[in-house]
């Protein structure tokens, strides 16, 4: 039987999400990522909590993940009740051989980065289509302040980046959970020096955060279409 491509991807994402639950230990404080792969993880975590004696607490990186976890009975903290997390499990849009990543396709990059930074380890869960030689095929999301956003966009262009304001399904400017906008930067050539590009973009006052997640990934779980996984230590 021929399984459509997007469903194959779902099998791979689900395999990675499910496997990540094995890293969760009793009493842990966990960061819940955002996106379809993270959503498979949250489902698997809910199931594990219901079918075993596992007790954990979590914080979410988006309203979506918060609602999913809450409706599944996961104990959730407000982010300001804590300062450290044991582990964050999150997806990625691209990840290269050095585990450098682009994230933010789902619009949650700022909270995702803050939560990952608070964590002892960021475990990344991806399907194998996310593995790349160089970052840059996927547009780089950059979260910007609504105040003077046209000027910020202009500054981004003046630095040599090509960016477009993200829109929602209704054609309105996409607004993040933090009330900000997102510029998606497209590039014809891969990012040669993500550290430098990140620093350049962050030098613009209206730029809040970029979707470059550099030197943040711990173990990476890669799911495949046949339901198998690989782990990159």
Which residues here bind ligand 5RP, judged by CB under 6 A?
Answer: 13, 33-38, 90-93, 103-109, 112
Least distance (Å) between residue 52 CB and ligand 5RP: 25
Q: How far is the CB of 30 from ligand 5RP (least distance, A)?
A: 15
| Least distance (Å) between residue 26 CB and ligand 5RP | 26
Which residue out of 94, 112, 143, 209 is catalytically annotated?
A: 112
Is 29:79 a contact under the CB 8 Å cutoff? Answer: no
- Pick 155 or 212: Cβ nearer ligand 5RP: 212
Beta-bridge partner residues of 207: 144
Question: How far, in Å, are 19, 20, 51 from residue 44 at the CA level?
Answer: 9, 9, 10
Residue 201 — φ and ψ, nearest 5°? -65, -40
Query: Least distance from C-beta 36 to ligand 5RP, angstroms?
Result: 3
The span from the CA of 13 to the CA of 225, in Å, is 8
73: left (phi over 0), alpha (psi -120 to 50) or beta: left
CB nearer to ligand 5RP: give 93 or 96: 93
CB of 129 to ligand 5RP, least distance (A): 9
- Single out the residue of 219, 221, 226, 220 nearest to residue 12, CA to CA: 226
Nearer to ligand 5RP, 13 or 198 (CB): 13
Annotation marks residue 47 as catalytic: no
Tokens 């030098």 correspond to 203
Kindly tell me which of 154 and 174 has the beta carbon lying closer to ligand 5RP. Answer: 174
Q: Of 18 and 155, which CB lies nearer to ligand 5RP in the complex structure? A: 18
* Residue 197 neighbours by CB distance under 10 Å: 21
Q: How many beta carbons lie within 10 A of that of residue 22, not counting itself?
A: 10
Which residues are marked as active site?
112
């Amino acid at each position: 039987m021929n399984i459509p491509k997007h469903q194959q991807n779902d099998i791979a994402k689900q395999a990675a999400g499910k496997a990540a639950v094995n890293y969760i230990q009793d009493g842990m404080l966990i960061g819940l990522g955002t996106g379809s792969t993270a959503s498979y993880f949250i489902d698997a975590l809910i199931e594990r909590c219901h079918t075993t004696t596992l007790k954990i607490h979590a914080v979410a990186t988006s309203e979506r993940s918060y609602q999913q976890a809450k409706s599944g009975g996961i104990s959730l903290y407000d982010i300001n009740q804590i300062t450290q997390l044991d582990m964050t499990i999150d997806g990625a849009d691209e990840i290269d051989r050095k585990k450098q990543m682009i994230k933010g396709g789902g619009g949650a990059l700022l909270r995702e980065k803050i939560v990952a930074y608070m964590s002892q380890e960021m475990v990344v869960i991806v399907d194998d289509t996310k593995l790349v030689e160089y970052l840059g095929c996927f547009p780089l999301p950059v979260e910007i302040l609504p105040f003077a956003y046209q000027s910020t966009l202009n500054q981004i262009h003046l630095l040599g980046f090509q960016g477009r304001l993200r829109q929602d399904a209704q054609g309105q400017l996409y607004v993040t959970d933090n009330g900000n906008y997102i510029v998606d930067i497209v590039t014809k050539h891969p990012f040669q020096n993500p550290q430098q590009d990140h620093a350049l973009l962050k030098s613009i006052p209206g730029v809040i955060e970029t979707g470059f997640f550099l030197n943040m990934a711990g173990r990476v779980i890669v799911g495949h279409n046949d339901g198998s996984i690989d782990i990159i230590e």
